[in-house]
């Protein structure tokens, strides 16, 4: 849910049954802020503004949690407000967070990771059989004979109380079943080694290139267009938008034996870039579809291996644009959010059999599942033994210790956490060509382009700089008004400035509430933005020295802001794992990264028409 360029209520509930906590934030003038990753409700009311301060926000901001798959990192959960179809370079991490580093908005991707609960799916089981697969291929007679034997015994003993949904033959010899029988009954079947419970699973810039030294890797292989050449990257996620230009090419040859897909109709949609597309809708009772109803998978795939295309900010591309993509749609349903460990096991089995060199797992469970209860741990270890590089999200529950999410705990594969980025784009102001200043737009109408005009402090006009009473007619004609927050609503201040001829308003907050926040501007129509008290005092000093200063107000999230990059994201899960192992294995940029979105489902996590 959103208001203006601010997102409200950004928190994933601990479980589907748990109702979210709502927090009230009273405001005298129509302003609001955010605290941590809690929900907020806006309750404007008459009061003394100077006695009401905004909660402070931690350093991290609402972050884009994407793990850099193309260079052996993972991808976190993504979600957004309205997104545009664009691409960007990937990073790592996950988690809903809100603070000063959150400067995104507009129409490009703001993607965030979601920590979820580890809920058992009733009556679903993975029956691991005693006969162990040793080959990276399907149809091995001893594996299928073992499965056929268990099927026959199960049918005879359980008389319709067990239905086989699917099976795996490569990373695990198993039958995926739905059964009302007890675990003890199932474990007693001849040929069954282990009965695994099934858990729900949920999806968790050119500067990133430099920070991760991807550009050096590109130089080594002869340019970015060759990065990933000959590699097959498997994306276990919500599918992708096959019509996105980042996945369209006729220049990449299709390898022998491909394309492969769930159906012939789907196979006809593939090209030299996307060579495998398998869906698992029917395992969970949905109609088969290649549509990415979430957008999470589209963003992940673009981050890993998207082709170079134009975005509103620049021409950007994935980390390994020369790689082929194999898409395994494990998150299904109307909004692309339904899946479980049995579906993942089947998809991982398919990816290994399809010859994927790298497989990305962008999901997790909270609280942690012990490795000896997680069916994906042995499946991942088996896939790794077959030569598949399995990349796993470490989780989105930092900064507390031992907060990694399954299946990151197993000893095989590469577990990835999130680090900061050193540049983000956002809305704000720029004065006479100086470094930009962060600005938070009000919830009123936004201009199509930047507002460029002389900047005029209203203090000489009303003595206190608050603009709560009528200013002389024409005193702000053609200028952007510079106004102190306080004593009256934002709507009043903006309308008074407009009546005096202003073309825009910059409000700086006071020392009692120093951080900039969102503004409820009512029926006011003038472009308006808030900056912090510290930045406001800087601007005021500039105006004192140079009264003829001009300002640019940018509402399109196109201003670059340079940040400190040496740190681990606050949301990124920490180690050690439950077995005492060090986690994560590596870090990659996981914040403020532009990537792609789907265009078909307006209620999906990442959407823009």
Q: Give pLDDT tens digits for 297-345.
A: 888 898 888 888 776 666 767 888 999 999 999 999 998 888 999 999 9
β-pairing verdict for 274-279 and 423-431:
unpaired
- What is the C-alpha to C-alpha distance for residues 174 and 125, in angstroms, rounded to an integer? 10
pLDDT tens across 119-169, in order?
A: 889 999 999 999 999 889 888 899 999 999 999 999 999 988 999 999 999
pLDDT tens across 22-32, in order?
A: 332 334 465 65
pLDDT the model gives residue 425: 76
pLDDT tens across 355-383, in order?
A: 999 999 877 665 566 777 788 888 999 99
pLDDT the model gives residue 213: 67
- pLDDT greater than 60 at residue 275: yes
What share of the chain has pLDDT > 70, as a percent? 69
pLDDT tens across 531-558, in order?
A: 999 999 999 999 998 999 999 999 987 7
pLDDT the model gives residue 50: 28
Q: Tally the C-alpha atoms within 13 A of residue 429's C-alpha that lie toward its C-beta.
A: 31
Helix (H, G, I), strand (E, B) or coil at 561: strand
**Mean pLDDT of the region 471-498:** 94
Count CB atoms within 10 A of the CB of residue 217: 17
- pLDDT greater than 60 at residue 284: yes
pLDDT the model gives residue 102: 31
Minimal CA–CA distance to 586: which of 93, 204, 63?
Answer: 93
**Mean pLDDT of the region 248-258:** 91
Count CB atoms within 10 A of the CB of residue 373: 14
pLDDT tens across 427-439, in order?
A: 898 887 678 888 9
Is the dihedral angle over the CA atoms 349, 355, 361, 367 positive or is it negative?
Answer: positive
pLDDT the model gives residue 434: 78
pLDDT the model gives residue 118: 57
- pLDDT greater than 90 at residue 263: yes
Would you place residue 448 in the very low, low, confident or very high pLDDT band (cuts 50, 70, 90)?
A: confident
The residues, ordered by sequence, that sit 6+ positions from 400 with a Cβ below 8 Å of its Cβ are 574
The chain-wide mean pLDDT, for the chain, equals 75
pLDDT tens across 493-534, in order?
A: 999 999 999 999 999 999 888 888 889 999 999 999 999 999
Minimal CA–CA distance to 516: which of 503, 529, 504, 525?
Answer: 529
Would you place residue 595 in the very low, low, confident or very high pLDDT band (cuts 50, 70, 90)?
A: low
pLDDT the model gives residue 312: 63
The residues, ordered by sequence, that sit 6+ positions from 225 with a Cβ below 8 Å of its Cβ are 308, 321, 322
Task: Considering only residues 37 and 570, tell me which one the structure prediction assigns the higher pLDDT.
Answer: 570
pLDDT the model gives residue 372: 76
- pLDDT greater than 50 at residue 291: yes
Structure tokens at 77: 């959960």
- Domain annotation for the chain: domains and CATH numbers: 120-199 (3.30.70), 205-419+564-589 (3.40.50.200), 424-562 (3.50.30.30)
Count CB atoms within 10 A of the CB of residue 18: 9
Helix (H, G, I), strand (E, B) or coil at 426: strand
The residues, ordered by sequence, that sit 6+ positions from 317 with a Cβ below 8 Å of its Cβ are 87, 89, 224, 246, 306, 307, 308, 309
pLDDT the model gives residue 2: 29
Minimal CA–CA distance to 469: which of 478, 460, 480, 461?
Answer: 461
pLDDT the model gives residue 66: 29
Would you place residue 256 in the very low, low, confident or very high pLDDT band (cuts 50, 70, 90)?
A: very high
- pLDDT greater than 70 at residue 103: no
β-pairing verdict for 363-364 and 274-279:
unpaired
- What is the C-alpha to C-alpha distance for residues 186 and 5, in angstroms, rounded to an integer? 53
- pLDDT greater than 70 at residue 79: no
pLDDT the model gives residue 205: 41
Would you place residue 191 in the very low, low, confident or very high pLDDT band (cuts 50, 70, 90)?
A: very high
Q: Give CA separation, 578 vs 113, 204, 381, 406, in Å.
A: 22, 20, 17, 10
Neighbour order of strands in the sheet with 414-419: 260-261, 274-279, 324-329, 232-237, 358-361, 389-393, 414-419, 586-589
- What is the C-alpha to C-alpha distance for residues 291 and 568, in angstroms, rounded to an integer? 34
């Amino acid at each position: 849910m959103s208001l203006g360029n601010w997102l409200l209520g950004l928190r994933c509930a601990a479980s589907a049954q748990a109702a979210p906590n709502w927090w009230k934030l009273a405001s005298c003038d129509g302003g609001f802020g955010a605290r941590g990753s809690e929900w907020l409700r806006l309750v404007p009311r008459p009061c003394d503004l100077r006695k009401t301060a905004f909660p402070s926000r931690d350093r991290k901001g609402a972050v884009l949690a994407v793990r850099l798959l193309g260079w052996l990192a993972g991808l976190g959960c993504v979600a957004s407000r309205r997104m545009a179809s664009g691409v960007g370079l990937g990073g790592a991490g996950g988690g809903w967070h809100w603070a000063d580093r959150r400067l995104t908005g507009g129409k490009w991707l703001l993607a965030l990771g979601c920590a979820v609960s580890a809920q058992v799916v009733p009556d679903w089981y993975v029956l691991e059989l005693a006969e162990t697969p040793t080959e990276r291929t399907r149809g091995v007679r001893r594996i299928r004979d073992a499965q056929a034997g268990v099927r026959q015994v199960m049918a005879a003993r359980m008389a319709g109380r067990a239905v086989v949904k699917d099976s795996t033959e490569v990373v695990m010899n198993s039958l995926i079943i739905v059964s009302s029988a007890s675990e003890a009954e199932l474990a007693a079947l001849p040929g069954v080694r282990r009965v695994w419970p099934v858990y729900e699973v949920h999806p968790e810039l050119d500067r990133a290139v430099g920070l991760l030294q991807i550009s050096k890797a590109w130089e080594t292989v002869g340019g970015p267009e060759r990065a990933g050449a000959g590699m097959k990257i498997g994306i276990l996620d919500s599918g992708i938008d096959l019509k996105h230009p980042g996945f369209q090419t006729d220049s990449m040859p299709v390898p022998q034996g491909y394309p492969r897909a769930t159906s012939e109709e789907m196979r006809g949609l593939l090209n030299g870039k996307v060579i495998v597309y398998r869906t698992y809708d029917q395992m969970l009772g949905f109609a088969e579809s290649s549509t990415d109803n979430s957008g999470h998978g589209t963003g992940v795939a673009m981050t890993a291996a998207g082709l170079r295309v134009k975005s509103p900010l620049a021409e950007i591309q994935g980390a390994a644009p020369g790689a082929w993509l194999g898409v395994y749609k494990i998150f299904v349903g109307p909004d692309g959010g339904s899946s479980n460990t049995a579906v993942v096991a089947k998809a991982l089995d398919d990816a290994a059999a399809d010859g994927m060199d790298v497989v990305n797992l962008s999901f997790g469970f909270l609280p942690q599942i012990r490795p000896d209860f997680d069916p994906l741990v042995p499946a991942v270890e088996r896939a790794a033994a077959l030569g598949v590089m399995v990349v796993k999200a470490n989780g989105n529950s930092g900064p507390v210790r031992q907060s990694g999410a399954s299946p990151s705990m197993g000893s095989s594969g590469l577990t990835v956490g999130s680090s900061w980025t050193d540049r983000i784009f956002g809305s704000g102001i720029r004065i006479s060509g100086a470094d930009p200043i962060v600005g938070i737009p009000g919830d009123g109408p936004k201009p199509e382009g930047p507002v460029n005009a002389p900047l005029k402090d209203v203090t000489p006009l009303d003595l206190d700089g608050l603009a709560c009473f009528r200013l002389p007619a024409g005193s702000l004609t053609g200028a952007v008004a510079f106004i102190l927050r306080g004593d009256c609503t934002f709507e009043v201040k903006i309308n008074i400035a407009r009546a005096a001829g202003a073309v825009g308003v910059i409000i700086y907050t006071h020392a009692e509430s120093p951080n900039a926040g969102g503004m409820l501007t009512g029926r006011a129509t003038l472009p308006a933005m808030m900056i912090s008290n510290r930045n406001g005092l800087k601007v005021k000093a500039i105006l004192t020295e140079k009264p003829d200063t001009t300002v640019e107000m940018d509402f399109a999230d196109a201003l670059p802001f340079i940040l400190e990059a040496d740190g681990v994201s606050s949301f990124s899960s920490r180690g050690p794992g439950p077995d005492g192992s060090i986690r994560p294995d590596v870090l990659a940029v996981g914040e403020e990264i532009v990537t792609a979105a789907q265009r078909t489902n307006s209620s999906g996590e990442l959407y823009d028409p």
